[in-house]
Amino acid sequence: MTRLEQLLADWIPRQRWFAGKGVPIGDVRIEDEYTLVPGEPGLRLLVVDVDQRGAHSRYQVLLGLRPPGTLPADLVHAAIGECEVDGSGARAVYDATHDPDLTAGLLDRIARGTPRGPVRFRRLPGTAVRTGLRSLVLTGEQSNTSLVFGEEYVLKTFRRLWPGHNPDLELTAALAGSPFVARPHGWIEVDLDEGGRRVPTTLAMLQRFLRGATDGWVLAAISVRDLYADLGTAPGDAGGDFAGEAERLGAATAAVHRSLARELPTDVLDADALRGLAGAMVERLRAAAAEVPDLEPYTDTLRAAYDAFARLEEPLPVQRVHGDYHLGQVVRADTGWVLLDFEGEPAVPVGERQRPSSPLRDVAGMLRSFDYAARHQLIGHADEQRLVPVARAWARRNRDAFCAGYADGGGVDPEKHRTVLRAFEYDKAVYEVMYEARNRPSWLRVPLDSIAALSA
């Protein structure tokens, strides 16, 4: 490895967006390198290949370069190290997403549009982009890095790269004009190698920034907190009752699903495809139970639900869906609910994320999120045992409200498709068990308690 690659091998695993935590890095290689801003400070785009026990992943790094010892105080936290660059002497290298003097050029290029060249900056037809705005990195993101420009635009840079058009851009562009999505304005792309051919790949997407919008998870958590602070009050009588918002969110979700079905291809899964999908669920359950023995008592119940799904007699309609739907993927704006982050699971190849699925998969994801919102605040709570039935009542009330809103908004009625919904919900809970066991063991009880309740 070069000195820069050695620095990246030390720096990348410490970033929140790195997906391979816990597995040793064997090698880091700069696969592609492009100069976006020459001189000092300079900006380069790196496509970095990370090898972990033979499994390779690509990551995007926007690399800033300055003379040694000249890194401003507000960029010290973004430092990667010092190394020689291009044989022209040592340079301080750092994560340039935190440098507004450099990121301003990204917005300018999208506004102008440069559709040719190795790195292409594209503006969506019919949109205008105002330039001269300074950027600020949003905190709290895990798989990507988002830059807010003057509270007008947000540029989401995709850290984990898979060859192909990112579904977030694809679906958001298909929904352009919908009141339930943030309007897209443009994107950045480059060609990545895939099996010897170069494939156009999305690096970043520019959207309207929703000023004053509140994260759905935050709103739900406030509702739960207020309810727990007033023991003995029913969820519907609490001051922060969330059911009305849950119902409106269900209607917004149905509207987005209807739009996606109009704009993009749809299909149906026959009996063989249903059995294959159920088999994949069973395999995930087997792997999870082997890793988390606490799941074993519920495996018979879960397999029974998957078997019932596999025996469905009617073909299952499928379409493009959100793919990773939960309360953290929606915001409440002045105009109502807005859905964000249509990229699906970043750890899954783009081709798999583009496969049509049942819209009830998204419904199941949101229902699991209501359970999480209710149960995670029980961890370490002084009145935990007394609050367990309250948590279940809050989740049930909001689950029912969301499903009612979804059906009234023109979506398939979840109550009439319980076999499908139950299979997707169990499958999501099993995924959560694996995730919590690996990343957040103190939260493992949340999906396990949910599975126990669902099984009962």
**pLDDT over 80 at 384, yes or no:** yes
Q: What is the pLDDT of residue 115?
A: 85
Q: What is the pLDDT of residue 456?
A: 76
**Span 276-285, pLDDT tens digits:** 999 999 999 9
Q: What is the pLDDT of residue 317?
A: 97
Q: Taking the CB of residue 131, how many other CB atoms lie within 10 A of it?
A: 14
Q: What is the pLDDT of residue 245?
A: 98
Q: What is the pLDDT of residue 240?
A: 84
pLDDT band at 231 (very low <50, low <70, confident <90, very high): confident
Distance CA 221, CA 115 (A): 44
The DSSP 8-state label assigned to residue 126 in this structure reads: T
Beta bridge partners of 197: 194
Locate the DSSP E strands across 304-352: 316-318, 330-333, 336-339
- E strand or H helix at 28, and its extent? strand 27-37
Q: What is the pLDDT of residue 265?
A: 96
Minimal CA–CA distance to 149: which of 201, 102, 113, 202?
A: 102
Question: Could you identify the residue written with the tokens 């519907």?
Answer: 236
Q: Which residues contact 407 (CB under 8 A, 6 or more apart)?
A: 250, 254, 413, 414, 415
Minimal CA–CA distance to 273: which of 154, 355, 208, 342?
A: 355
What is the number of helices (H) and of strands (E) in the chain?
A: 12, 17
Question: Could you identify the residue written with the tokens 């190290």?
Answer: 81
Q: What is the pLDDT of residue 260?
A: 98
pLDDT band at 292 (very low <50, low <70, confident <90, very high): very high
Looking at the chain, the whole-number percentage of residues with pLDDT higher than 70 is 100
**pLDDT over 80 at 299, yes or no:** yes
**Span 86-96, pLDDT tens digits:** 888 899 999 99
* 102 Cα distance to chain centroid: 26
Q: What is the pLDDT of residue 422?
A: 97
**pLDDT over 80 at 200, yes or no:** yes
Alpha helices in 166-211 (DSSP H): 167-174
pLDDT band at 348 (very low <50, low <70, confident <90, very high): confident
Phi, psi dihedrals of residue 115, rounded to the nearest 5°: -75, -5
Q: What is the pLDDT of residue 256?
A: 98
Q: What is the pLDDT of residue 413?
A: 96
Q: What is the pLDDT of residue 56?
A: 95
Q: Which residues contact 151 (CB under 8 A, 6 or more apart)?
A: 209, 211
**pLDDT over 80 at 232, yes or no:** no
Average pLDDT, the chain: 95
pLDDT band at 235 (very low <50, low <70, confident <90, very high): confident
**Span 29-80, pLDDT tens digits:** 999 999 999 999 999 999 999 999 999 999 999 999 999 999 999 999 999 9
Token code pair at residue 51: 């090898």
Mean pLDDT value across residues 213-221: 96
Mean pLDDT value across residues 426-431: 97
Q: What is the pLDDT of residue 324?
A: 95
Mean pLDDT value across residues 106-129: 94
pLDDT band at 237 (very low <50, low <70, confident <90, very high): confident
Q: What is the pLDDT of residue 43?
A: 97
Distance CA 345, CA 360 (A): 17
Q: What is the pLDDT of residue 86?
A: 86
pLDDT band at 291 (very low <50, low <70, confident <90, very high): very high
Q: What is the pLDDT of residue 45?
A: 98
CA distances from 22 to 16, 52, 60, 348 (A): 13, 10, 20, 18
The DSSP 8-state label assigned to residue 188 in this structure reads: E
**Span 131-155, pLDDT tens digits:** 999 999 998 767 899 999 999 999 9
Q: What is the pLDDT of residue 286?
A: 97
Distance CA 348, CA 346 (A): 5
Q: What is the pLDDT of residue 91?
A: 95
pLDDT band at 259 (very low <50, low <70, confident <90, very high): very high
Contact 318, 265 (CB under 8 A): no
Looking at the chain, the whole-number percentage of residues with pLDDT higher than 90 is 87
SS3 state of residue 21: coil
